[in-house]
Structure 1
Amino acid sequence: MLKILIASFLIASSVFADTKMKKISDSFNDKVKMVKETDEGIKLHFETHAAVYKVNKTNPKFEQLKKLLEKSKNENKEVKVEVSIPAMEITSAHN
């Protein structure tokens, strides 16, 4: 019984480690509803997507993304974003 338990644990650990290594991303078009400054960067809400998204200051494109996302909000125009999941971090944005 102990051998089965240990084998099950090893298999489960391997599967868990494998899934943690994979990056999942999504992209969508939406209008920015809210931009909030934080110590880490900015947090965003969109009109039709319920999650809270973020852009970290550690992102090399932080200033560019911030400017584009704020412009989308101010002009009430859609922007296309690419998001890293499950972190909900915006990795790129385009008009």
Structure 2
Amino acid sequence: MNFAFLLMGPYDPKKHRVRFESEGGTALMVGVSSLEEAAGVARELGEAGIDLIEMCGAFGPEGAARVGAAAGERVAVGYVVHDGSQDEKFARLFGE
């Protein structure tokens, strides 16, 4: 399986990208600074044969849908969420 993880923050996807390769496939981690950038990266990854794209929770369901549409019908797309018991910790970290 070829897998990618997109991370939202003050990143440049041309510079902030790591790749791990093994006999089982490829894993990429790519930093992006906006939803628009993420959609462009997802399109690129889908065309390059990525099977699955996961994203940090900053994308939310709407962002995940937009990235999924850009990646193409063949690519599975999801985003990370946390258990509600962790809300207070996340609020401290992200100022929510």
Range of TM-score over shorter length: under 0.3
TM-score, normalised by the number of residues in structure 2: 0.23
The structure where helix makes up a greater share of residues is: 2
If the length of structure 1 is used for normalisation, what is the TM-score? 0.24
